[in-house]
A = this chain, B = another copy of it.
Amino acid sequence: MPKSTFLNLRPEKRADFTDAALFEFALNDYQNASITNMVKVLGIAKGSVYQYFENKKDLYEFLIELAAEEKLKYTKKVIKKAGDGDFIKWYRKLLHQSLLFDLENPMLGCLLINVSQERNNAEIGNLALTNKRETAAFLKKVLELHQPKSLSPSLDSSKLAFHLTQLGFGLTDAFCIEKELDLRHFALERTAVEYDEAEVKAFVKDMVNALKPALG
């Protein structure tokens, strides 16, 4: 976690720093994100980074947490209703929010995608698999919550949870492929993706509908 030094920083300065750090770690994986480069962009002394954070890993963990929290804000309301009503509607809503988040916050989106793919780093462990395992476990629980009420009793919750996990992790990619967008480009430009609300909704709907019979 950040040192107090960082928390006591003038809000604007802290924001600048955070932004530059997110930028660097959004466009590079952990090992290749360069503190040297980051401070050059920021125009501050390299030593300052170590006034704010213990080390590179500490900074990285802060950014992950920040991005995760930010994303949670988008999805919290939906997640809370995990057991209510219709599962498909719920999941569609969840995906919708998740996709919107990435489109509106390309930097945070890219960062989280990077995190979800860290496999080879001894220092931070295999986050990719850990992430998937946890997400799949959560979705399995939700599926089993709905199964008695509205889902087919023959449904294989474990396997289906995995399919839904994959969908979740890959949705933004799919959208970008279909719409010929490059999220990294938007992260690079620090701009949100301009999207057509109806298009996004339709995309998610179609995506989930394609799986619907499997959930029937």
Contact = CB atoms under 8 A, between A and B. Distances in A.
Interface of A: 27-29, 31-32, 113-114, 117, 119-121, 126, 128-129, 132-133, 136, 155-156, 158-160, 162-163, 165-167, 169-170, 173-174, 176-178, 182, 184, 206-207, 209-216
A129 to B, nearest CB: 6
Contacts of A156: 206, 209-210
A32 B28 CA distance: 12
A58 to B, nearest CB: 15
A76 to B, nearest CB: 25
A38 to B, nearest CB: 15
B170 A166 contact: yes
Given A166-B170, A206-B156, A132 B182 contact: no
B207 A173 contact: no
A175 to B, nearest CB: 10
Contact of A184 (B126, B159, B182): B126
A170 B177 contact: no
A212 B210 contact: no
B126 A182 contact: yes
A213 B214 contact: yes
Nearest to A205: B159
A124 B31 CA distance: 17
A170 B29 CA distance: 20
A89 to B, nearest CB: 17
Nearest to A26: B120
Contacts of A177: 129, 132-133, 136, 162
A176 B211 contact: no
Nearest to A206: B159
Contacts of A126: 182, 184
B210 A155 contact: yes
Q: Which of A113, A119, A160 gathers the greatest number of chain B CB atoms within 10 Å?
A: A119
Nearest to A122: B27
A48 to B, nearest CB: 14
Contact of A213 (B27, B129, B182, B213): B213
